[in-house]
Chains A and B, each alone.
Chain A
Amino acid sequence: MNRLSAENVTLAYEQRVIARELSVEIPDNSFTVIVGPNACGKSTLLRALSRMLRPSEGRVLLDGQVIHSLPAKKVARTLGLLPQSSVAPDGITVADLVARGRYPHQGLLRQWSPSDERVVQESMERTGVAELADRYVDELSGGQRQRVWIAMALAQETPLLLLDEPTTYLDIQHQLDVLDLCAELHEEHGRTLVAVLHDLNHAARYATHLVALRGGEVVAQGAPRDVVTAELVERVFGIRCQVIEDPETGTPLVVPAARKARATTP
């Protein structure tokens, strides 16, 4: 039994149904990446897994219990989320923002314990923002800011961490930085990571477990080596391609067919 799973969930915003009867298991200690074309419901699935969205049917289970019935702070000590859009409060410093990740571990009378102190410092060091501690978040570059938010999620000290498109709006170097960091967290600390990514090649390179969605349905899931095939990419994304071996890592690498070849796609 895995710690986090969705059972037959139907996900909808008001009347608009995004996914019906969807079931997904997140393998423990995996780096799971959810991929799929725009509007396939991948962010919606992540929102359901992180209890941001209540399924209209079915249930999301965390450690065998329905996630929505658990106390909010208890869930927050087990499962962290890096949402797509977060707002840094005006005039907040990096250290203060990261410190807010300690909220679920604190209380009215226990506002700042020595362990809070230690974890915040470690999180900032791990993400390479320790030297920015006194800077204002507003002044940082996009890449730095994203690392600060990840540091905040780390400070939450959760065995499970969900990330919604953590690489969007970053240049290639910072994208790789963020993904390397995720891989490190997964390998060295045995955390379970779940991320939504746009770039299929990034997903294939970093993920240990891949979930491919299309139109609110799971088309395939498993190790990238087994899942990423030319046939699947065409089925999920509707493009013709070759899948070759990544010369650097040996993972699958998707190379879209040339324009003329794709134009003849039936």
Chain B
Amino acid sequence: MTTPKTTRQPVLRIGGRLSLRIRVRSVAVVLLLAVVALASAVVLIGTGDFPISFADVLSVLLGSGHPADELIVRELRLPRVLVGLLVGGAFGLAGALFQAVSRNPLGSPDILGLGQGATAGALTMIVLFSGSATAVTAGALVGGLVTGTAIYVLAWKRGVHGYRLVLVGIGVSAVMTAVNSYLITKADMVDAARAVVWMTGSLNGRDWTQVWPLLALCAVLVPLALANERGLRMTEMGDDASYALGVRVERLRLVLLACAVLLASAATAAAGPVAFVALTAPQLARRLTRSPGPNLVPSMVMGAALLIVADVLSQRAFGSDQLPVGVVTGALGGVYLLWLLVTERKAGRV
């Protein structure tokens, strides 16, 4: 490993062919956040009507716990926590991709209407068909994908301009919100309550059937997104400058938006449109790493950490399974957002 004079960043070189740039601070942030996320995950597994100590949870996870603990951990709480980690990571990554592509710190799946679109799909299943959990998940997935495609197509006019993407998304989002409100008025009280909980975003009652598809999707999409990160970083300099450097801007956007839409839709389908994780994770990550660029990996880990910490908070503060995690992320996000807008205003950005 050497540290060049110009960029003051260590480079890992093996032979003449392989050379990787390493941002020490980013790596440290990622490791730190991963530790926070995993430790909170262990705490979360131990939290509930039947509390299990940190040490006992660890010993179950390492395969040497009490059989009673083992059942609760393996069958009930572990899948829920894994869904939380995956959903948080997917939202964080999707948010970072959307923000980088739209070049706007507030461009995130919840503001661009993806959340509302997925909600419309889910509510259709809940309200019109009183569907099972699986049907609701499928409905949300389809709703999110259709909305994402519609936004892309509607924003496309000789290329997708970041600004137009955001505004079209806002329009779509407003329509979807009206549709959702209408669907809720059509529901009976039980379905309406179920719908509102779903719309807030919750990890309650998630099991292994949600974990596997989400994990498979992430296994494909995360590497795809990361492989395109260097090109995405170039587009920060404007379309012309990045195209001049050999980045196929439109194709890159299409690929990355498709990744982001799939990730966000799948995450929404699994846990509902958990407010603000996708919006805040990339911004927080960026401030921690102090590095320009999309910060995809830090955002992803930050999203996972945020969601799990928020869930621990909501479980501990309001009692187990009382308030869905989306309420806590919403409150945290609201405070953060005010701060962001005020500081960005001072810096003359946004």
Contact = CB atoms under 8 A, between A and B. Distances in A.
Nearest to B291: A91
A87 interface: yes
A153 B231 CA distance: 17
B244 A81 contact: yes
Given A109-B17, A112-B4, A117-B4, A77 B246 contact: yes
B236 A75 contact: no
Interface residues of A, number: 48
Contacts of B290: 91
A265 interface: no
Interface stretch (B5-13, B179-187, B272-280): B5-13
Interface in B254-301: 290-293
A266 B344 CA distance: 55
Interface string A50-82: 111000000000000000000011111101110
A106 B130 CA distance: 54
Nearest to B105: A90
B230 A73 contact: no
B160 interface: no
A257 B289 CA distance: 60
Contact of A108 (B227, B248, B291): B227
Nearest to A14: B158
A91 B245 CA distance: 21
B103 to A, nearest CB: 8
A95 interface: yes
A89 B18 contact: no
Contact of B292 (A14, A51, A91): A91
Contacts of B4: 112, 117
Interface in A87-118: 87-92, 95-101, 103-104, 106, 108-113, 117
B243 interface: yes
B55 interface: no
Contacts of A50: 244
A55 to B, nearest CB: 14
B20 A103 contact: no
A81 B158 CA distance: 21
Contacts of A80: 244
Given A103-B230, A103-B246, A87 B238 contact: yes
A96 B237 CA distance: 12
Interface of A: 14, 47, 50-52, 72-77, 79-81, 83-92, 95-101, 103-104, 106, 108-113, 117, 120-121, 124, 133-134, 153, 156
Interface of B: 4-9, 11, 13, 16-21, 158, 227, 230-231, 233-234, 236-238, 240-241, 243-248, 290-293, 349
14 contacts: A14-B158, A50-B244, A72-B246, A77-B246, A83-B241, A87-B238, A89-B292, A96-B292, A110-B17, A111-B230, A117-B6, A134-B8, A153-B244, A156-B244
Given A111-B19, A134-B8, 10 more contacts: A52-B244, A81-B240, A95-B6, A100-B237, A106-B230, A109-B19, A109-B20, A110-B17, A120-B7, A156-B245
